Structure 1
Amino acid sequence: MPAKIPSRNDSSIDLILTSNILVKTRNAIPIDFFNTYAIRAIYEILSENGHDPDDIFERAGVDSNIFITSEVTSLASLGRLTALAASQTQCAHFGLLVGRRTTLASLGLLGSLLRHSETIGDALHALKSHYDHLNRGALLEVTSDDAVATVRYSPYDAETDGIALHCERAVATLTNVLRALCGPNWSPDEVWLPRLEPPDIDPYRKFFRCSVRFEQEIAALVFAARVLRQPIAGAKPVIRNAVERRIRQLEADVPSDTSGQVRRQVRSTVAEKRVQKSQIAQLLAIGHRTLSRRLKAEGTTFRSVASQTRLGTAKQLLSHTNLSLAEISAALEFSEPAAFTHAFRRWTGTTPSAWRRNRHCT
């Protein structure tokens, strides 16, 4: 019998689910955990389109009751399920279908915090600051200058199955969040997606209502910086403060993850400058020797974490875009393509060109 799906309008259920993520025992939380609201959306889409979701979930190795039992899932499980669901439905924009079902209520406590922030900029800052409350497998960044604001989404493990669909799901989710705060007619100026352009781009144009650029280095929304200053109608500071206190209390129960923090900082820094151990330690407000000790306790090293993060990004761009080796090399801040090729061979035992050819043949 198919699992009973809780009502999407029952925000109390969503609040309970989100809270439960952070009060589980320390050993029960995957390092790269993701909230299960996307899993529920996948189940709904499969059901509504005549597919057997329980069968597809079983084949993907994911419990079809996971979103009911308040469990979290890993990025690998979510990616595997998304990729299989897209294949079974033969829908190239399956990630978009999942992301556009996101509501503020489905974000639980964090959605309440955004809803009652003073401005759009404050809401996005809160989303960035507490993103680990929902997901620990990706980085969210907000940057702006006088004219343009950009919200970037970067998963840590870019080699995960279905990662291109996962990125488009996240960008669609961010779009729905901003429409909930700005009004339903809001649209970004541009959308960037790190994936090959699908045969039919109409679903993207209809949903985003703007220019969509495929084969980009990152997943991002681009819009006018003045949007950040827009006040949020009906926001209540008392609710915001109470929710933020509760979120901070729950976050205190989440186990520390130094390697995850390093991956986050490396992923953030890799597109800006060459990653240095001392720089990451400074960003984490600890000494580089303390950083080394903590990573050793987790069974890894700074060099290993940094290399794996950069390698994952390289493989994502090689697999899901047609960017040249020179463009990928520049995106990863190598001095020249030859340096990128040398590093990639050291990491994998083969060249980026050969790895790309083999990937496309499988």
Structure 2
Amino acid sequence: MGVMVRAAGLRGWATLVRDLGGEPGALLSGAGLAANALDDEDGLLPARAGMHLLEASAVALDCPDFGLRMANAQDPTALGPLALVLQNTPTVREMIETTSQYLFVHSPALRMGLHPAGREFPGHVSMQFDIVLDPRPPARQTWDLGLATAHRVFSLLVKSRYRPRAVLLPHSPLAPLSRYVQFFETNVYPERAHGALIMHEKVMDASLSDVDDTIRKIATSYLETHYSAPGDSTSALVRSALSRVIGTPQSTLEQIAQLLALHPRTLQRRLAAECASFEALRDEVAKNAAYQYITETSLPMSQIADAVGLSEQSALTRACKRWFGQTPTALRRQPH
């Protein structure tokens, strides 16, 4: 069956398609989805098909900001049973941590987490949004929808205390950058390693209003009883850690082992027990990162080589021939 997503994640899609002069049935069929696939918001559909539907809709309707427009139909209730928990968490930090813990209820293909924003944004944190499909299909509209929905949910729940310092896009936007600035009302930086909302550290301790602790406990108990979290294997943990540091000195076996509080030999033994190896996982993460940079950004190939931990552009060319059977330039020229 593959990785699924709740149909509520595409709330507003059919209305937007019609408003733009399109025919929902034809686009659904082109994505391999039934005509009634989105009728039940609690229904499940293949995540890849949903992503393809967004990309195909943007192209067919000549609407490069399709994902941003769709976000206007989203609110916390689109997250189904998770919404009650989020609306009743005491602080913004707990809301993000709870979303990170239970986002798999909406779709295991999506991941969200809180990380330091680094030297570029001192005193700030980065709320990163990631797509964890391998291989990952073209995802510009999915990135935009995910970041824009998170922005909208924060605006609705945290109100005036939420104002992002910046927004990072992991692609070269097809719509004018000014459209993103208009939507997010802040600086927007394309072609970054991760999709993220950058917020001041102080916002994390802001309290949400009208919180009911009893409702939160009941809703949390419901999630724990009815939904089993997908167990993270050692391979999955290593893959997730590498995706955050690929191309940096921290992407070594020793550094990742330290991050996971394991001895390097212990980490190797656990990976071997799963018929995996650190080198193969690092190669896989580098491959996925390279594909994203090549197909969804205009970064120079030499810069992409550095970003995925390769010594020089010629190394990227050799790797791409091994990964994709063609050079980086040929891959970039293909329609995606």
TM-score, structure 2 normalization = 0.84
Measured against aligned partners, the alpha-carbon deviations of 1:283-333 in whole angstroms (never above 9, x if no partner) come to: 398864444334x4xxx7665554333212211111111112233233323
Counterpart residue number, 1:34: 5
Task: Return the alpha-carbon distance in structure 1 between the equivalents of residues 30 and 271 of structure 2.
Answer: 40
Would you say the 8 A contact 1:314–1:332 is kept in 2? Answer: yes
Aligned length: 326
Describe the SS at the equivalent of 1:130.
Answer: helix
Measured against aligned partners, the alpha-carbon deviations of 1:146-191 in whole angstroms (never above 9, x if no partner) come to: 6111111121237644411111111101101111221168431211
Would you say the 8 A contact 1:38–1:98 is kept in 2? Answer: no
Where structure 2 has 5 or more consecutive residues not aligned to the other structure, the ranges are none
Change in Cα spacing, 1:179 to 1:212, as seen in structure 2 (3 Å) is same
Letter in 2 for 1:36: A
Greater shift, 164-173 or 151-160, is seen at: 151-160
Letter in 2 for 1:123: M
Letter in 2 for 1:46: V
Quote how far apart the aligned CAs of 1:262 are. 5.0
Change in Cα spacing, 1:139 to 1:226, as seen in structure 2 (3 Å) is same
Change in Cα spacing, 1:321 to 1:171, as seen in structure 2 (3 Å) is same
Change in Cα spacing, 1:79 to 1:160, as seen in structure 2 (3 Å) is farther
TM-score, structure 1 normalization = 0.78
Measured against aligned partners, the alpha-carbon deviations of 1:34-77 in whole angstroms (never above 9, x if no partner) come to: 22222232123113334221221012111232233433223311
Counterpart residue number, 1:17: none
Letter in 2 for 1:41: G
Quote how far apart the aligned CAs of 1:342 are. 4.0
CA RMSD of aligned residues (A): 3.0
Describe the SS at the equivalent of 2:196.
Answer: strand
Does 2:113 correspond to 1:137?
Answer: no
Quote how far apart the aligned CAs of 1:132 are. 1.6
Counterpart residue number, 1:54: 25
Would you say the 8 A contact 1:125–1:142 is kept in 2? Answer: yes
Counterpart residue number, 2:126: 150
Task: Return the alpha-carbon distance in structure 1 between the equivalents of residues 144 and 164 of structure 2.
Answer: 14
Change in Cα spacing, 1:138 to 1:335, as seen in structure 2 (3 Å) is farther
Change in Cα spacing, 1:251 to 1:304, as seen in structure 2 (3 Å) is farther
Change in Cα spacing, 1:319 to 1:130, as seen in structure 2 (3 Å) is same
Task: Return the alpha-carbon distance in structure 1 between the equivalents of residues 247 and 94 of structure 2.
Answer: 25
Counterpart residue number, 2:334: 359
Would you say the 8 A contact 2:86–2:99 is kept in 1? Answer: yes
1:167-178 aligned within 5 A? 167-178=143-154
Counterpart residue number, 1:90: 62
Counterpart residue number, 1:104: 76
Taking only the aligned residue pairs, the percentage that are identical comes to: 19
